[in-house]
């Protein structure tokens, strides 16, 4: 009789564990389809920033992405790199960050996209002599 009670209790616990796993699986499926969550995960991986900051930045980037229009991957990488930075960047620094995100980037293409993003009002270019620094508009 004692083993029957143990068996019943074990079965109840097993059913509870299965129910929890099913809820967790549903939650994970819903999270994985959320583009903001996926972007936050990409930011954590690419820039080694804390998850909470990545979520905040992903929300900001998602808001800015609507302004980009065609969602050009290089322009998105530029916005991502500038969003996680607390300071302005030179084109060389920005190109390195874009390479970190995309794998490849050229200064010429990054400069072109920076100028296009400036025209859309998303970023500011600060000129200092021959060099220029870029930052997101706040």
75 and 28 in a common domain: no
Show the DSSP H helices in the chain as ranges.
2-32, 35-47, 51-68, 73-84, 91-102, 107-119
The average pLDDT across 107-135 equals 90
Q: Which residues pair with 79 in a beta bridge?
A: none
The reply to whether the predicted model has a pTM over 0.75 is: no
126 and 59 in a common domain: yes
Q: Which residues pair with 124 in a beta bridge?
A: 135
**pLDDT given at position 31:** 67
54 and 68 in a common domain: yes
Per-residue pLDDT reduced to its tens digit, 21-39: 888 777 666 666 777 888 8
* Total count of domains within the chain: 2
The average pLDDT across 89-114 equals 91
95 and 71 in a common domain: yes
What Rg value do the Cα atoms of the chain yield, rounded? Answer: 23
40 and 2 in a common domain: no
Cα–Cα distance for residue pair 102/109, rounded to 1 Å: 13
Residue 101 has which token pair? 């995100």
Residues 6+ apart with CB under 8 A from 59: 36
**Is pLDDT above 90 for 15?**
yes
47 and 15 in a common domain: no
Cα–Cα distance for residue pair 83/30, rounded to 1 Å: 25
Per-residue pLDDT reduced to its tens digit, 117-130: 999 888 999 988 88
pLDDT band of 84, cuts 50, 70, 90: confident
Per-residue pLDDT reduced to its tens digit, 38-80: 888 788 777 788 888 888 888 888 877 777 766 788 988 898 8
Cα–Cα distance for residue pair 90/93, rounded to 1 Å: 5
The average pLDDT across 72-101 equals 89
């Amino acid at each position: 009789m004692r083993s029957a009670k143990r068996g019943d209790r074990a079965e109840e616990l097993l059913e509870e564990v299965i129910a929890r796993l099913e809820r967790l699986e549903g939650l994970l499926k819903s999270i994985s389809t959320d583009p903001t969550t996926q972007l936050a995960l990409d930011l954590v991986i690419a820039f080694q920033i804390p998850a909470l900051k990545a979520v905040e930045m992903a929300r900001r980037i998602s808001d800015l992405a609507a302004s980009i229009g065609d969602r050009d991957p290089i322009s998105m990488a530029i916005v991502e790199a500038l969003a996680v930075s607390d300071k302005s960047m030179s084109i060389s620094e920005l190109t390195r960050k874009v390479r970190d995100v995309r794998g490849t980037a050229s200064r010429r293409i990054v400069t072109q996209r920076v100028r296009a993003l400036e025209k859309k009002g998303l970023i500011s270019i600060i000129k200092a002599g021959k060099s220029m620094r870029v930052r997101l508009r706040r």
